[in-house]
């Protein structure tokens, strides 16, 4: 039993080391940033663009279908609404390039990533049941020293 615990502890330490090692892209931008201080709708992200960089930011939301039940307990909100999507992986690639940077949405569904000025194709990895983003892939232009917003709305097809 003790040997099993030691093996499990070593496996967890190794996994943590691998995640830390591969969480950086070669140009030192962090892959998978999750900001606990996510910006709200209409607000700018806390990331400030440098004069030679720009920031692409936005939110990822999904539609929560209305319910016809009594509304007791957890579940969809009566009348329907949108809800943030946590840990969505957003891919950002310069047009004509296969190099992809990625950002991850935080607990409020918001994301932000600093990139050099240019035109980018934005995509998102989907998980089963997540729905599809009708506005992706999207082409956006990020200017030096500026913030560019792109909100992603997922449609699960549930009504």
Confirm whether 149 is domain-assigned: yes
Q: What is the pLDDT of residues 62-91, one digit of tens each?
A: 887 665 555 555 555 555 678 899 999 999
Confirm whether 102 is domain-assigned: yes
Q: What is the pLDDT of residues 31-71, one digit of tens each?
A: 343 332 333 333 334 556 667 899 999 999 988 766 555 55
The CATH code of the domain that includes 48 is: 2.60.40.10
Domain count of the chain?
1
Confirm whether 57 is domain-assigned: yes
Structural domain of 67: 30-155
Confirm whether 20 is domain-assigned: no
Confirm whether 2 is domain-assigned: no
Q: What is the pLDDT of residues 4-32, one digit of tens each?
A: 666 555 555 555 545 444 444 444 443 34
Confirm whether 89 is domain-assigned: yes
Give whole-number Cα distances, 37 to 40, 43, 48, in Å. 9, 11, 13
- Categorise residue 28: left if φ over 0, alpha if ψ from -120 to 50, beta otherwise: left
In percent, the amount of the chain with pLDDT more than 90 equals 43
């Amino acid at each position: 039993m003790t040997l099993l615990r030691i093996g499990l502890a070593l496996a967890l330490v190794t996994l943590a080391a691998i995640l830390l090692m591969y969480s950086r892209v070669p140009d030192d931008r962090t892959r998978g940033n999750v900001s606990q201080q996510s910006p709200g709708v209409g607000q700018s992200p806390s990331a400030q663009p440098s004069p030679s960089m720009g920031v692409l930011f936005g939110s990822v939301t999904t539609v929560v279908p209305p319910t016809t039940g009594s509304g007791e307990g957890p579940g969809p909100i009566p009348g329907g609404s949108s809800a943030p999507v946590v840990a969505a992986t957003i891919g950002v690639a310069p047009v004509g390039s296969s190099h992809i940077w990625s950002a991850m949405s935080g607990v409020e569904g918001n994301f932000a990533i600093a990139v050099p000025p240019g035109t980018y194709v934005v995509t998102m990895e989907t998980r089963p049941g997540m729905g599809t983003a009708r506005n992706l892939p999207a082409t956006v232009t990020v200017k030096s020293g500026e913030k560019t917003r792109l909100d992603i709305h997922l449609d699960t097809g549930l009504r």
